[in-house]
A and B are shown apart, each in its own frame.
Chain A
Amino acid sequence: MEWSIVIDGFFTALEPMNVVWLIFGALLGTIVGILPGLGPATGVAVLIPLTFGMNPVSALILMSAIYYGALFGGSRSSILINTPGDGSSIAATFDGYPMTLKGQAGQAMSIAAMASLFGGIMAIFGFIFLAIPLAQFALNFGPAEYFMLFLFTLSAVVALSTGKMIKGFVAMFVGLAISTVGIDLQSGVHRFTFGVPHFTDGINFIVIIIGIYALGEVLYNMFPKKTDQQPKNQTIGSKWFTKEQWKRSLGPIFRSGPLGFFLGVLPGSGGTISSLLAYSTEKQLSKRKDEFGKGAVEGLVAPESANSSAAVGSLIPMLTMGIPGSGTTAVMLGALVMIGITPGPLLFENSPDLVWTLINSMFIGNLILVIINILMVGLLIKVLRTPANVLYPIVLVLSFIGAYTLGYSTIDFYLLIAAGLLGLLMRVLDYPVAPLILALIIGGEMEQNIRRASIIYESPQAIFFASPIATTLFGLTLLSLCYPLFVKLFKRKTRKGTGASM
């Protein structure tokens, strides 16, 4: 690795305009994350139009800053009002909110910010050493390997829809079906366009994403219990954590960071699983198990460190292979394509400056976020008091602007509304959204790759054994599909075991 490129990236990230975008994105992300109901995926989706017209480096810096800013913000609302901004902040409610009830909200927020900072930094170092080898490895991928990789990603995401795998498959096939709309690139045949010229290039998946996440979220928040959920007045207490708290946090932070990073790299696992796993691991290891759930500082810092590093880790498959591992990275992938950046192994060869500027900006961004989150606690709490009935109409307008700027057609508005209703129903009836979004994004590429591979290998079944990589990925796909079965069997065995011992 050429360190000069890394250093150049550091200085590019420090250019005044990039720092401005970084601070703006971090602040905006924090605000989006702190508002209950709006997570990083919604934040990035709604704010995509802001990046149009910007140079790719600044656009990427802004989007990433919004992403990890929203992750930071998500845990603020978990700590203060027991309402996670998104899935990855759920674990922060377990001990963060009890700390607030004990009058330690300020300490909880500052130590959570430090945990996120260290988690993020550990993951950035992981990124530096892992991303390039992975990108180089990805250069060996042909159509068969790519198809198998897409298949594995989808199966992993469906398998992780715990307890609702069948619904996960349904959602995945709906996403794939939407991806087939438009002109077939290899034959020129118009598929499912109904004579509408706007559909010739296919349905813009960002419109669907904005609809499902933003509009769906707004409609969901119109439920009676949601609008009644007003933040309570909280006393912040001391804004800085104690020496004793820091001492107790060090171990969990440094254990959970690497754990979160590796889970982040795997498709489908993302922030939620890594933070929950970090929490349960720390609980298992702790000598103060009984304090967990009552305001144990370890129970707060472990998930915070893990989800922050998972966020960085999840960027690796997205940037090196164009595989989004989570809903948020799927939105980011779409946004990157919109601004003219094609993620994949060649990105590291063709635009190393862009990649390393992004990595360095994440390092600087994490520091900025700590400053924002510790110094501006009072202001951020005021954001929490924004009435839902004022906030959500604004989100609706931003969603419409977002959809309009993607194709300058009001046809997208109808798609947006339909996707919003679909998102609402899927949420209420317990259908996972991530498989639909991922399938929608990679569906087109998946089809092109399997068709190219079938021409090369002359039969579709030969694709599965085209190379050791393809066969391994096929094996991993089968394993991931059997994973819920293994978990069930393991649970049954453990239950039997404990039953016997009792």
Chain B
Amino acid sequence: MHAVRLSMPLFFIVLSVAYGILILQLPQATLGDAMAPLYFPAAICVGLLLFSIIDLVQVMKKKEKAAPEDLLLLVRRSTLTTIGVIVVLCIIYTLLFEYAGFLLSTVTFLAALLFYLNGKTKWRVNILVTGIVSLSTWYIFSQLLEISLPAFGG
């Protein structure tokens, strides 16, 4: 549990170091002060690193304290599986969207998500919600609001 709590400040420390490396690789400006584009990111980098280290020290000091309820729930295998599956489905949706367009990818995504969360027993609700939501959102955005949502194929 403590490792999960440490992970966030550690992640931010790694992020600030990576950000610092990227700042050093930035090209210099050809107009005015050559270093001008670097100053603001550099200040942010120092601030992020400093406060992440303080945060890490504070988390390490609070080792004995009981973990918050939300954290205990998050690290449960069932919660991690559910979140993992949802994230994977979101990534598949992203990949599919580019090639299959809005309607086909949304129907697949919603159906997969609803069947995963509600199970097969509620198949009527799952199919109904998938159909109504996919078609109505496409109609509202694409036809009524004239926002380009590729129906089939990107």
Contact = CB atoms under 8 A, between A and B. Distances in A.
Interface of A: 49-50, 52-53, 166-167, 169-170, 173-174, 176-177, 180, 184, 186-192, 215, 218-220, 222-225, 387, 389-390, 392-394, 396-398, 400-401, 404-405, 408, 410, 413-414, 416-417, 420-421, 424-431, 447, 450-451
A484 to B, nearest CB: 14
B70 A428 contact: yes
30 contacts: A52-B145, A166-B51, A170-B51, A170-B55, A173-B16, A173-B44, A173-B48, A174-B15, A176-B44, A180-B41, A184-B29, A186-B32, A187-B30, A187-B36, A189-B27, A224-B76, A224-B79, A390-B118, A393-B110, A397-B106, A401-B102, A401-B137, A417-B90, A420-B90, A427-B70, A428-B71, A428-B74, A429-B8, A430-B68, A450-B40
Contacts of A215: 90
Nearest to B46: A173
B145 A49 contact: yes
Identify the 7 closest CB pairs spanning chains A and B, nearest first: A187-B29, A173-B48, A413-B94, A389-B117, A169-B51, A184-B37, A447-B40
Contacts of B86: 218-219, 222, 396
Interface string B12-55: 10011001001000111111100011011100110110011011
Nearest to A402: B141
B44 A177 contact: yes
A502 B36 CA distance: 61
A191 B41 contact: yes
Given A53-B146, A393-B114, A451 B36 contact: yes
Contacts of A188: 29-31
Given A177-B44, A393-B133, 11 more contacts: A49-B141, A166-B58, A170-B52, A187-B31, A188-B31, A219-B86, A222-B86, A389-B118, A416-B90, A428-B70, A428-B71
Contacts, number: 167
Given A186-B32, A223-B74, A424 B83 contact: yes
Interface size class, chain B:
35 or more
A425 B83 CA distance: 12
Given A177-B44, A414-B94, A401 B8 contact: no
A421 B84 CA distance: 10
A397 B147 contact: no
B49 to A, nearest CB: 9
Contacts of A396: 86, 90, 113
A400 B40 contact: no
B91 interface: yes
A307 B117 CA distance: 35
B129 A401 contact: no
Contacts of B79: 222-224
A401 B41 contact: no
- Tell me whether chain A's interface is mostly helix, strand or loop, or mixed: helix
Contact of A429 (B39, B48, B52, B71): B71
A429 B90 CA distance: 23
Nearest to B88: A417
B48 A177 contact: yes
A146 B94 CA distance: 39
Given A173-B48, A189-B37, A397 B137 contact: yes
Interface in B114-154: 114, 117-118, 125, 129, 133-134, 137, 141, 145-149, 154
B56 to A, nearest CB: 10
Interface in B57-85: 58, 68-71, 73-74, 76, 78-79, 82-83
Contacts of A401: 102, 137, 141, 149
Contacts of B148: 408
Nearest to A455: B32
A180 B118 contact: no
Nearest to A400: B93
Contacts of A174: 12, 15, 48
Contacts of B76: 224
A398 B114 contact: no
Contacts of A400: 90, 93, 97
A177 B32 contact: no
Contact of A225 (B19, B26, B47, B73): B73
Contact of B133 (A50, A394, A417): A394
Contacts of B54: 166
B71 A50 contact: no
Given A188-B31, A397-B133, A451-B36, A222 B5 contact: no
B47 A173 contact: yes
B48 A397 contact: no
A189 B26 contact: yes
Nearest to A222: B82
Contacts of B47: 169, 173, 176
Contact of A170 (B12, B91, B117): B12
A426 to B, nearest CB: 8
A137 to B, nearest CB: 27
A187 B29 CA distance: 6
Nearest to B94: A413
Contact of A393 (B4, B87, B113): B113
A191 B26 contact: yes
Task: Output the residue of A166, A190, A224, A392 with the most chain B CB within 10 A.
Answer: A166
A219 B137 contact: no
A225 B82 CA distance: 13
Contacts of A416: 90
Given A49-B145, A170-B48, A401-B141, A177 B30 contact: no
